[in-house]
Amino acid sequence: MTRHPRIVVRVVTWNLFHGRDDPPDPSLRTWRSRLLRITERSATHEQVNRPLRDEFAARLATLAWDVALLQEVPPGWLRPLAGAARASGASALTSRNFLHMARAALARLNPDLVASGEGGSNQVLARPSWRISRVARRTTAPRPERRRMLLVRLREPGGAELVVANVHLSTRDPTDEALAAAQYAVAWSDGAPLVFGGDLNLRPDRAPAAFAELGARHGLSGATAPGAIDHLLVRGLVPLHEAEAFAPSAREVPGSDGLAIRLSDHSPVAATFEVR
């Protein structure tokens, strides 16, 4: 009997908070900083109102992953993030992307004031030996904010396939949206192993029925934690290390005077699976 090499894939999901920082001390988030771009400091952290693309790219590049699902990403960041991580990538534009170039210019001048007004995207990055063979996009909610699912079919040199569906679901009772998106993703996967993940805006302890239905109807399992909203649900994969959020310090980068800048208001969530 021929023994095939074991294929292990490390997956991470991270909501990038539109490329902004989020210090642990809420008193640092002041109108003075938001309007005048004045850096606020505590004994350990600083809150900076400036572009942080390079910091996000560097931090993401240092994480151990084969596939990354990213949400709330400034649309122009795909190439810089992929380049820093030595990955290929795909993107799905979400909401507020009309007149994107003008919005992006304003966001570079004052990221915290413009905030999500810059526009957004969901992105998937894949490092070798995985390569992107097919991409699809589907709107999961047209309003009040357009939500889109990014679907990517990945292929490994030995012929193994993996489908990734990256979502950032609506904040108002997204159960039906999640079930419809999962149904489409399962059909699109066409029998290949599936990762259905991202920011689901669903907590297992508050919406247990939603996760039960995702499992019963679509065979998806692997919620992160009872109070989590960022998940890596899977179908047809063997969990080797279940989804777990990084410590907040894992998303910190050096600031000035020995202080830390904490990137995003979400911690990355990572899991490891075997592809069979």
pLDDT digits (tens, 9 = 90+) for 15-68: 999 999 999 999 999 999 999 999 999 999 999 999 999 999 999 999 999 999
pLDDT (0 to 100) of residue 31: 93
Q: How confident is the model at residue 116 (pLDDT cuts 50, 70, 90)?
A: low
Q: Coil, strand, or helix at residue 67?
A: strand
239 HSE (CA, 13 A, CB side): 16
Residue among 109, 105, 70, 58 at smallest CA distance from 261 = 58
| 80 SS3 class | helix
For the segment(s) 7-275, the CATH number from 3.30.1370.60, 2.40.40.20, 3.60.10.10, 3.30.200.20 is 3.60.10.10
Q: What SS3 state is found at 158?
A: coil
> Which pairing describes strands 131-141 and 46-47: parallel, antiparallel, or unpaired?
unpaired
* Residue 165: burial class (beta carbons within 10 Å; 0-12, 13-18, 19+): buried
Q: Residue 117 has what pLDDT?
A: 65
What pTM did the predictor assign?
0.94
Residue identified by tokens 């008193």 is 27
Distance CA(163)–CA(186), nearest Å, equals 9
Half-sphere exposure of 95 (CA within 13 A, CB side): 17
Average pLDDT, the chain: 93
Q: pLDDT band at residue 173, thresholds of 50, 70 and 90?
A: confident
Positive or negative, the Cα torsion across 77, 81, 83, 88?
Answer: negative
Residue-range domain boundaries for the chain: 7-275
Q: Six-digit token pair at 209?
A: 């029925």
The answer to whether the CB of 152 falls within 8 A of the CB of 192 is: no
Whether the CB-CB separation of 65 and 270 falls below 8 Å is answered with yes
| Per-residue pLDDT band at 276 (split at 50, 70, 90) | confident
Q: Is 2's pLDDT higher than 50?
A: no
Residue 3 has pLDDT above 60, yes or no: no
Omega of the bond prior to 144 within 30 degrees of 0, cis?
A: yes
Cis amide bond preceding 129, omega within 30: yes
Please tell me the distance from the alpha carbon of residue 76 to that of residue 82, in angstroms, as a whole number: 11
